[in-house]
């Protein structure tokens, strides 16, 4: 099981410095979200600084980009990281896709499935396995003259992953993707009883084993040897869990765990602008399902106990923020990283 850090917008110098620290302390890689900043230039800067790390987009927003553009960027990053790059793609939500990016969102599940298939068709063409010929319900790519094809290299087996939560998207990912970016708001009940069965259904459609599909799992991991030390990150985790939980499409997770009506209450508080009230609604019982809280020396075992045999990569949601506040914490996180990778 690999051990990564989630990070977002920063300068190239900052991302390079963080990459150097993570590499020196035994981490596996870095996962870059796409929020206020695109991830690809940061990955290039980090890869130059820390050439042994693996870099993942978790996720890059798909629909505003042509599948050809996404495939070409992934191809270039795979070459220059010597194969230590995974392209993670996601749909984002309707308001952002239509009103922020000015792109089409209609039928996001089928569109996302076709998008990933189109990206993979581009990659096969780049490898010289076949002529470019993808004619799907949403994307048509049939032209790649030789002078416009990217140069071949030895790292062309680029993994293409999808973010997925609901049953259709999870099944589609099981059918066409190499990995699934599990949502940060997840419980093991969700993974075992909702996600994995749908992954298996999708994999069966493609006549492959679900074991071929990597689960990349962001984790609200909160280490600390006293309540006072853990307090700021417990509050941060509760706030983020509450924000995710306010989305109606994710509310079923609370219902499954025996917390009925919580998502609706969170949504009401969100509309009222009551962020503290949202965080206060997340109880310690809920936190036990959605986060991992442990002493520093116990965190590696806690992560391994929960995710061994499930996650190909665990991604620390709060570690970069913690290290940013307290640079000395990188060594302690590094001890967890090395223990998880060795387990």
* Whether 55 and 104 share a structural domain: yes
What domain count does the chain have? 2
224-242 per-position pLDDT tens digit: 999 999 999 999 999 999 9
Last residue of a domain, one of 288, 306, 322: 288
Share above pLDDT 90 across residues of the chain, in percent, rounded to a whole number = 98
* Whether 281 and 247 share a structural domain: yes
State the pLDDT confidence band at 248, using cuts at 50, 70 and 90: confident
* Whether 232 and 293 share a structural domain: no
As a whole number, mean pLDDT of residues 140-151 equals 96
* Whether 168 and 78 share a structural domain: yes
CATH number, residue 30: 3.20.20.30
* Whether 166 and 298 share a structural domain: yes
- The Cβ of residue 331 has, within 10 Å, a number of other Cβ atoms equal to 13
* Whether 11 and 72 share a structural domain: yes
pLDDT of residue 135: 98
Indicate if the pLDDT at residue 63 is higher than 90: yes
18-29 per-position pLDDT tens digit: 999 999 999 999
Share above pLDDT 70 across residues of the chain, in percent, rounded to a whole number = 100
Residue-number span of the structural domain to which 52 is assigned: 2-225+289-342
* Whether 217 and 270 share a structural domain: no
pLDDT of residue 251: 87
* Whether 171 and 283 share a structural domain: no
* Whether 77 and 161 share a structural domain: yes
Between 29-38, 217-226, 246-255, the lowest mean confidence (pLDDT) is in 246-255
* Whether 252 and 330 share a structural domain: no
pLDDT of residue 249: 86
pLDDT of residue 150: 97
What angle do the packed helices 227-245 and 262-272 form, to 10 degrees?
Answer: 90
pTM above 0.95, yes or no: yes
pLDDT of residue 37: 95
* Whether 211 and 236 share a structural domain: no
As a whole number, mean pLDDT of residues 295-318 equals 98
Indicate if the pLDDT at residue 71 is higher than 90: yes
102-114 per-position pLDDT tens digit: 999 999 999 999 9
pLDDT of residue 266: 97
* Whether 233 and 120 share a structural domain: no
């Amino acid at each position: 099981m690999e051990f990564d850090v989630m990070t977002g917008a920063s300068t190239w110098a900052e991302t390079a410095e963080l990459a150097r620290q993570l590499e020196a302390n035994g981490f596996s890689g870095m996962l870059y979200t796409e929020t206020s900043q695109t991830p690809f230039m940061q990955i290039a800067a980090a890869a130059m600084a820390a050439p042994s790390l693996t870099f993942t987009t978790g996720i890059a927003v798909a629909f505003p980009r042509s599948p050809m553009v996404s495939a070409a960027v992934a191809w270039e990053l795979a070459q220059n990281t010597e194969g230590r790059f995974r392209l993670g793609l996601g749909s984002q939500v309707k308001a952002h896709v239509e009103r922020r990016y000015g792109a089409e969102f209609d039928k996001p599940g089928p569109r996302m499935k076709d998008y990933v298939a189109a990206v993979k068709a581009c990659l096969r063409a780049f490898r010289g396995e076949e002529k470019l010929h993808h004619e799907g319900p949403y994307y048509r790519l049939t032209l790649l003259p030789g002078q416009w094809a990217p140069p071949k290299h030895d790292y062309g087996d680029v993994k293409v992953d999808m973010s997925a939560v609901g049953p259709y998207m999870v099944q589609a990912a099981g059918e066409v993707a190499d990995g699934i970016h599990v949502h940060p708001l997840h419980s093991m009940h969700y993974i075992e009883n909702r996600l994995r069965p749908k992954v298996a259904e999708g994999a069966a459609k493609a006549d492959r084993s679900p074991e071929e599909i990597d689960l990349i799992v962001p984790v609200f991991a909160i280490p600390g040897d006293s309540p006072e030390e853990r307090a700021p990150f417990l509050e941060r985790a509760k706030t983020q869990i509450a924000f995710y939980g306010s989305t109606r499409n994710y509310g079923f997770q609370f219902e499954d765990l025996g917390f009925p009506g919580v998502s609706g209450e969170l949504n009401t508080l969100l509309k009222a602008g009551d962020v503290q009230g949202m965080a206060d609604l997340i109880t310690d019982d809920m936190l036990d399902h959605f986060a991992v809280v442990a002493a520093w020396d116990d965190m590696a075992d806690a992560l391994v106990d929960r995710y061994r045999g499930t996650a190909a990569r665990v991604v620390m949601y709060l570690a970069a923020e913690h290290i940013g506040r307290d640079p000395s914490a990188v060594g302690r996180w590094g001890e967890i990283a090395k223990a998880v990778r060795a387990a």
